[in-house]
Structure 1
Amino acid sequence: MSAPVEDLDRIMAVMTTAFPPDYGEAWNRRQVSDSLLIGRTRYGLIDAQGRPDPVDASSTAGFFLSRSIFDEEELLLFAIAPACRRKGLGDCLLRRFIDEAREMGMSRIFLEMREGNPAGILYRKHGFQQVGIRPGYYRSLEGDRISAISQELRL
């Protein structure tokens, strides 16, 4: 699945504000674009009113990027722009992502997140459970090592 240039612009507009530079979690445009060339990769967008398919980059509030193999899907990136947080948009977008995965016949969803990431609350609310830890997976700009938490949701 290749994304139109406008959708890449929308994803990158959110990406540049949503991921703190302290951990190097944000992907660059080439990484996002290349990932969408791989089969069974998909993305979704949301605007500030919770609607899919925002009109332009300035109205885009969040996105997800995922890939699947067989009956399992991995949530690669999930972000809500800081100015749009605490308004239920993350809940709305994650629910949509899970519903679409279920409709596609997925049996499980996986994700990894930085230990201490506040999005963990949202993931737990939707039924994700910790299944593993990758010690020292992330490195902060100061050189601190931070574990990655692996989570799973059975559908």
Structure 2
Amino acid sequence: MTLAADLAFRIESGGMADLPDVMVAMGDAFDPEYGEAWTEAQCAGILGLPGTWLLIARADEDPAGFALLRTIADEAELLLIAVRNRYRRQGVGRALLSQAMEDAQAESVGQLHLEVRSGNPAIELYREAGFVQVGTRRGYYRGRSGKVFDALTFKRRLGVI
């Protein structure tokens, strides 16, 4: 368990029992226009796989956000990271990302990968954390209105700033 610096949030490991809190954060954090949110069944399905782990950020007992990751061999992927609107710009996303990198490095993971919708403000956070863009998936996300958005792929070597 880690405390986010100077904030009343804690980051803790989660599991299947935390899916209701994940869905609260998911519903608040992801605008349906962009088609990025996962269903509860998708989250439960991935959580049941080996090498997958969940981090939950809590303000007291209120879910502030989460990160869902998967490790395969010596690489990991940040599948989802979300911070509820009322907790944004308070260090929750940064704390989740930092804990995810620490956990991955502790498991001898050498690289962490992620993808993000082009135009997502979180791109700045990823770049500040040392992620570099390595690719683009054209038209990957389809929003509710039918508009398509590119996905940008990033990676970061762990243990290197």
Q: Structure 1 residue 89: deviation in Å?
A: 1.1
Kindly indicate whether residue 29 of structure 2 is the aligned counterpart of residue 18 of structure 1.
yes
Identity %: 41
> Which residue of 98, 102, 111 maps to 2:101?
98
Unmatched 5+ stretches in structure 1 = 49-53
Q: Alignment length, in residue pairs?
A: 145
Partner of 2:40: 29
Does 1:124 find its partner at 2:127? yes
Deviates more, 1:121-130 or 1:137-146: 137-146
In the alignment, what sits opposite 1:74?
77
CA RMSD of aligned residues (A): 1.3
Match of 2:20 in 1: 9
Note if contact 2:142-2:149 (Cα within 8 Å) is conserved in structure 1.
yes
Q: 1:112 corresponds to which letter in structure 2? A: E
In 1, distance between residues paired with 2:69 and 2:100? 9
Unaligned runs of 5+ in 2: 1-13
CA deviation after TM superposition for structure 1 residue 142, in Å: 2.1
Q: CA deviation at 1:4?
A: 3.5
Asked if 1:42 is matched to 2:45, the reply is: no
Segments of 4+ moved more than 4 angstroms: none
Structure 1 counterpart SS, 2:146: coil
Structure 2: how far apart are the matches of 1:4 and 1:119?
A: 26
8 Å contact kept, 2:52–2:68? yes
Higher strand share: 2
Q: If the length of structure 2 is used for normalisation, what is the TM-score?
A: 0.86
Instruction: Give the Cα–Cα distance (whole angstroms) in 2 for the partners of residues 137 and 151 of structure 1.
Output: 15
Distance 1:100 1:3 in 2: 15
8 Å CA contact 2:134, 2:153 repeated in 1: yes
TM-score by length of 1: 0.90
